[in-house]
Structures are given as C-alpha cells and as structure tokens.
Chains A and B, each alone.
Chain A
Amino acid sequence: MPRAFTPKVVTANHLLEGDVIYLTAQDGWTRDLAQAEVLTDEADAQLRLLFAEQQPTTVVGAYLADVTPGTTGPEPAHFREDFRRKGPSNYAHGKQEAERHV
C-alpha cells in the first residue's frame, strides 16, 4: 500500500524583505501560514512548487513544508517551521511584530 501523503504548503522567503511567505490557493503569497494553500496530493504539490519557482523576482528558495490540518488552518508539523511561522524566541521580532500581506 502506498504511504499516505503528508499534507504540505509551499513556502519560501520574500526576495526583497527576506521574510517567510506561503503560497495561497489564489496564486498569491501570504505571510500568514493559516492562509496558505494546503496540498494533499503529491503531484499537485510538485506542480505548485514549480509554479512558485517560476517567480524568481518575488521569492527565494521555495520548498514544500509538512503541515498538519487544524481548525484555523494548517499547523507546522516540525518545530523549525513553527519558528519560521512566528519569529525568534529571544525577541518579539519577525512575524510576532505584525501581520502583513504581500
């Protein structure tokens, strides 16, 4: 039996700002993981990653990150992605400071 596909989001860093962004279902980018498109099919995920990689003047280093579907949107499956979602733990900088949209 094929292994179940772990849901994913496409994430990257913004070229100019350098901060963490996520691909939305509307082909845009958001800084809020909860707004990200959750990909539940492997082929679809690869296509969405290709779509992201075709935007080199907007994003850097796009990749697929594992998520767990939650009641308020996707939740990070790994602590590294949790830090990327929030910002550092020693100062309230990064996404903890403000919610913005591209």
Chain B
Amino acid sequence: MYNYTEFDKSFLAERNAQFRAQVERRIAGALTEDEFKPLRLMNGLYLQLHAYMLRVAIPYGTLNSAQMRQLALLAEKWDKGYGHFTTRQNIQYNWPKLRDVPDMLDALAEVGLHAIQTSGNTIRNVTADHFAGAAADEIADPRPYAELIRQWSTDHPEFQFLGRKFKIAVTGASEDRAVIKAHDIGLQLVRQNEQTGFRVLVGGGLGRTPMIGKVVRDFLPEADLLPYLEAILSVYNLLGRRDNKYKARIKITVHENGIETIRALTEERFARIRPSFSGVDQDLLPGIAAQFATPSFKSADTAGFTAAYAADPVFQSWVDTNTAPHKAEDYAIVSISLKAHGATPGDATAQQMRVMADLAHRYAHDELRISHEQNVILPHVHTSDLAAIHAALRDHGLATANIGLISDIIACPGMDYCALATARSIPIAQEIATRFEELQIEHDIGQLKIKISGCINACGHHHVGHIGILGLDRAGVENYQITLGGDATETASIGERAGPGFSADEIIPAIERLVYAYLDLRENPEETFLQAYRRLGLDPFKSALYPAAAVAAE
C-alpha cells in the first residue's frame, strides 16, 4: 500500500483549503455557478438529479482497512448510510450537502484519499487489475506504475484542460481484468529479453462511439513510461478535436487519423521530450514499489478448510464461485459480491464497509480492492481463513455466491440519480437478478456478464457485456436496447445490436428468452454464452428475442 508522503499530505491539505474557500465564495455569491462548476468538478463534486454527488477516487482500486472505515464514516456522517462503488473503482456519495463537502474532503485526506480529477477534462483516476499483486497469472504488480502515473498526472499543468476526459488502465496479467482495451490508454506489463516493459494500447473507449484500443507500441521499456505517456497526451492535446464534444476523445483522434499517424507523431514527440526526463521518476519508482511489496504469507493447516468445503454446500458454492487462484500456495483471492439478488449493484452500507474492513485487517493483510465490476476483493486470504470470512460475510448480506454469473451485473446509477441518464438501470438489474434467483438456474447458466447503462455514455460498459442493455428515452418512455457478444477481456469485442428495444415491462422476459435459448443452443454445459454466441452468431439469439418476427419471416 502506498503511504502518503509529507509532500502528498501538504498538497492535499492546500488543495482542500482552496476548495473550502471556493465553496464559501460560491455560497456568499462571490462566485457564479458558471465560475464554480469547473472548480467543484475538479474536486469530484457533481450536481445530480436529486442532490450533489461526491465522487471519491480509489487509486487503482486499492484500499486499506482504515481507508474503508473512513469511507463508512463519510457514508454515515454526511450521507444516507451507504456508498456506491463504480465501474471506475471509485465510490460515490449520492446525498452530500454543499456546506459539508469541504469537511468530507478533509476527512478523506486524514487517510490519504481525495476526489481530485474524478471529473473534468483531465487524466482521471488510474485504474488497475483488481487482482494486482495477488493473481497467479501476473508477471508484475501494476500498481507501482499506476501510482507513478497518479503522481505525474495530478495537477499536470499541460493536461488540466484536455479536449475531453482521459482514462488510463494498467494490468500486469495476461488475462485482462482491467478492460484495458476500452481505455484511452491501456497498459499491459510484458517481459521481453529479460526486460520489463509495457504493451501500449491507445484509442479504446465505450460511450457514443465504442472502439477497441489499438497497439501503438508493442514493447515500451519501463523507464520510458512517463515520457511516452506524455508524448501521447501531447499529441492528443494538439490534434484532438475541440469543435464537437462527441468527437473529442482520443478514440476519435486515432480513428480519424489512423494508428500509423498517431504512432509516428507520438514517436516524434517522444524523441523530443525523452531527454528532458532526467530520471527522477525512475529514482522514485523503487521506493513506490517497495510499498507494494508482497506481504509475508503464512503457512497453516488447511484440513479445517477441506472439511468445511466437503460438509457445507453453501460454503462450497461460495468458494467455487467467489474465489480465484492466488500466486501463493494455499492462498486465494476472495471476491465479495455487492450484488445480493435484488440489491443495488455496487452499493454497500456503512456497516458492510466496516465488516469488510475488519475482515481485511484480520485475515487479508489489511488490503481491499474495488473491482470495476463493482465488487470488493480481499486479495490475500489463506484458505484456512475462508470459512470464518464466509460466516462473517453471510451475517451481513455479503456472501452471495454469484461472481461472474448472471446476477453479478454491472449497472450505472441511471436515471435514479444521474443527470445525464435517459432511463433507469438499477431496477432492471434488480429485476433480472431477482428473476434468475427465482428460476434457480444461474449456476447452470454459468459465466454470463450482463452490463447495463442508462444512457449512451456507457458508464455501465454495456458494449462489452456478453449481454448489454442500454436504457434510452423513446418518445418519453423508457426503452431498453440489447447488444450481444460484447467482451471486456483480452479478447475484447463490441456487442452487436440485436434489434428494436424493449419497454421496461418487456425487457426481463426478453432476457429470459435469450438465456433459455442459450441453454438450448449450447453444445455442453462448459460452453459459455459468449462462446456459443461466437460459434452461432446473432441469428438464433435474435429469433429468441423477437419470436413474432421470426415466425413472420418463415
């Protein structure tokens, strides 16, 4: 875990004092809303449908127990007792009052957290593989690099007024759990000739015009990371469009100019600025990396775990579904589902946050992660502790065994909260989860990722859901469009639109028809929905979605 230095602390204190004064000037009328809005956004404060919303960065999704407890305190003291974990590994508070926000930011600073650059046209919170430092398939922990990028990008004078927001994701594993191909820049740690470096992708993104990122550099030596990122950003800052907000992201710059042009311009810029990087960043990196050192893992008898696994089918199901292989012997990565059937995806109460913090402190080397899939991870757990963890989670509604299954749905806040939304997302997610729980078939269905967005901006990643659902406003009525075959991993693809949308009443039966069609069509229980879709194409699934049209066509 990175611990803030005196520099970090004083920077944050100064920034918070500035914002406190800005809030006071706004309340007194010395700042207009037009003047205040960019200032509040740069500090994570939005105005949503029903209230302000404070978006707090969780850098690369990593928290310690003290930080999680502080998030719980904010939820209880200044909000309505809960927080919403997002697809960008952030947490959002939906009900703060303007006067309270400076106090909330000061409370966050006490534990090294902030809301800087969680909005605005800047480099946003850097996201990372939520299994970083623990995954069995990882070549190196990506978080020291993510932290280096955080330090470089925070208040970077050249990049405070980009054409549009800019998102960077980093992974150290071959299995992409960080959706790097749907980011403005995606970084994958790779090894070449005994050297660590990065495969650099650029121009991915979802939203109105979804694009899969393209490789701009196959191998970038570790030491060149910041100058190369700066080169890409500089090229984008000059070349990116500013005439149309919807064409201002780097994915459009790459699409319109071609990856070869972007590569050539980036390399040219890189060659020019590389000498100005004196190596300070590389001097800092070992110190940062040391703070992410692998914890000293214990050895313990696993007989108790084996017995509990054999005796308790509920525990067994949870272990099978919610744990993943760890790099250390007899250790596991635990995913805590924030998707209890019928609950709001990604929401945790203050009490649940404290329970998770306590478990992390007691059993998981004091570490927690927030996944972009809106769950909480205990990255380092000895299998001998799994039964105790499961029991504690079960007592607090946190033991749902559904990671990766149909009810483990990503959903943006949608029109229940978001001022940009065109339809609701949350009730659709709740109803799908509840329906498939009633049907008792979700374990039989197996891996199936449903992702729901309440508008074209795609915060719910619908384009890369195996089943994507996009909520729209059609003539004053909520309408839901389905895309199929999306994939957020290293085999990323953008889902294909299935056909006309469905009303709020029709969407759940439509999903049910789709899933039953998959169960009929799959070759065997091991063939996932995505594999079946890739084998068969859209047509059989479309027939299931639109049976009347299929009959008419015959």
Q: Mark A8-21, 1 if CB is under 8 A from B, else 0.
A: 00000101111110
Residue B223, interface by CB 8 Å: no
Q: Which A residues, 23 to 79, have Cβ-Cβ distances below 8 Å to chain B? A: 56-57, 60-61, 77-79
A57 to B430, CA, bound (A): 39
The distance in angstroms between the C-alpha atoms of A88 and B478, with both chains bound, is 15
- Whole-angstrom distance between the alpha carbons of A78 and B476 in the complex? 6
Q: Which residues of B contact A88 (CB under 8 A)?
A: 50, 94, 416-417, 426
Whether the Cβ atoms of A18 and B426 lie closer than 8 Å is: no
Residues of A within 8 Å of B424, CB to CB, are: 83, 89
Q: Are B49 and A16 in contact (CB under 8 A)?
A: no
Q: Say yes or no: A90-B33 contact (C-beta < 8 A), given A15-B27, A16-B98, A18-B97.
A: no
Docked Cα-Cα span, A58 to B5, in Å, equals 40
* Beta-carbon nearest neighbor of B417 in chain A: A88
Contacts of A78 in B (CB 8 A): 476
Given contacts A18-B52, A61-B33, A84-B49, contact A89 B416 (CB under 8 A): yes
If A16-B27, A19-B50, A56-B29 touch, does A90 touch B430 (CB 8 Å cutoff)?
yes
A5 close to chain B: CB less than 8 A:
no
> Given B32, B47, B344, which contacts A18 in the complex, CB threshold below 8 Å?
B47
Determine whether the beta carbon of A90 is less than 8 Å from that of B344. yes
Cα separation A56 to B97 with both chains bound (whole Å): 17
Whether A90 and B98, one on each chain, are in contact in the complex, defined by CB atoms closer than 8 angstroms, is: no
B50 engages A79 (CB within 8 Å): no
Q: Is B362 close to A, CB under 8 A?
A: no
Contacts of A19 in B (CB 8 A): 50-51
For the complex, give the distance between the alpha carbons of A84 and B48 in Å. Answer: 10
Chain A: CB-nearest residue to B32: A56
CB <8 Å contact, B476 and A94: no
Given known contacts A16-B97, A18-B98, A94 and B427 CB-to-CB distance under 8 angstroms: no
Residue in chain A with minimal CB distance to B30:
A57
**Please, which residue of chain A has its CB at the minimum distance from the CB of B476?**
A78
Determine whether the beta carbon of B50 is less than 8 Å from that of A57: no
**With a CB–CB cut-off of 8 A, which chain B residues contact A93?**
50, 80, 94-95
The listed residue (A57, A79, A94) touching B477 by CB distance below 8 A is A79
Which residues of A approach B to under 8 Å, CB–CB?
13, 15-20, 56-57, 60-61, 77-80, 83-84, 87-91, 93-95
Which 9 residue pairs are nearest across A and B when measured between Cβ atoms? A88-B416, A18-B52, A18-B51, A94-B50, A57-B29, A90-B344, A90-B426, A16-B98, A60-B33
